[in-house]
Amino acid sequence: MAADEVYGADPTLRADIRGHGLGYVLAIAANRRVPTHAGAIRVDRLPAMLPSWAWQKHSAGPGSHGHRYYSWAWITLLPENDADTGWHHLLIRRNDATGELAYLRCYSPRPTTLHTLVAVAGQRWRIEESFQAAKGLTGLDQHQVRRWTSWHRWTTLAMLAHAFLAVATATERDTQPPPTSLITLTVNEFRRLFDALLLTTNHTVTSLLAWSRWRRRHQHRARESHYRRREHQ
């Protein structure tokens, strides 16, 4: 499970997750204190205590301009209470370009690796990207209502529309894998094709698909260029 600082600051939630035998990677604020073998310490004091070899570069997952590489360090923490089992860690993420630091409190029922914790931390972007996509594609944030019932109706319909686009896109990806010269079909592209097919009359399916292939070929070339430049840097 991955979540932001609101959830990472809640000890009851953390305990409930552990009680279900699940692991988590939860962001916490820089002023939070964590139980280390040297005592309770604010997390923003820990990076200065770490030797240079403690930092390892890992990708948090692919982005639009290449893999999202950061330097990571992890510190073993004490259990939150005597009944706790499993392994507790503090994960520190450093943006080497800006020096920005982020802190994540981690738990795993079984021994795990730094690479695994980084991969879980990177999944949080998927959630944020999903909400952002729903806002742009299906108007999730465009309600102008102030009561629960009307907000609930709007949000349900917007999320249903986004689910349709996501499932239809995933189905097409599975049944029609793209050639190597094109990027994989995206939800945005499927929405564009769906709208054009329903709302315009001066295009045929053949012409719409031709434009789609041109866009995806251009995006593939741009992405490859971005990836090569990022790897060189």
Q: Percentage of the chain with pLDDT > 70?
A: 95
| Closest to 153 measured CA to CA, from 165, 133, 145 | 145
Asked whether the predicted pLDDT for residue 188 surpasses 80, the reply is yes
Classified as helix, coil or strand, 29 is coil
Phi-psi group of 41: left, alpha or beta (phi > 0 → left; psi -120 to 50 → alpha; rest → beta): beta
The model carries a pTM of: 0.68
pLDDT in tens, 87-146: 999 999 999 889 899 999 999 999 999 999 998 888 877 777 777 888 888 888 888 878
Task: Provide the strand spans (E) within the chain.
Answer: 2-3, 24-28, 33-36, 39-42, 56-63, 66-77, 87-94, 101-108
Whole-angstrom distance, CA of residue 125 vs CA of residue 193: 26
Q: Domain residues of the chain, as ranges?
A: 2-122, 129-232
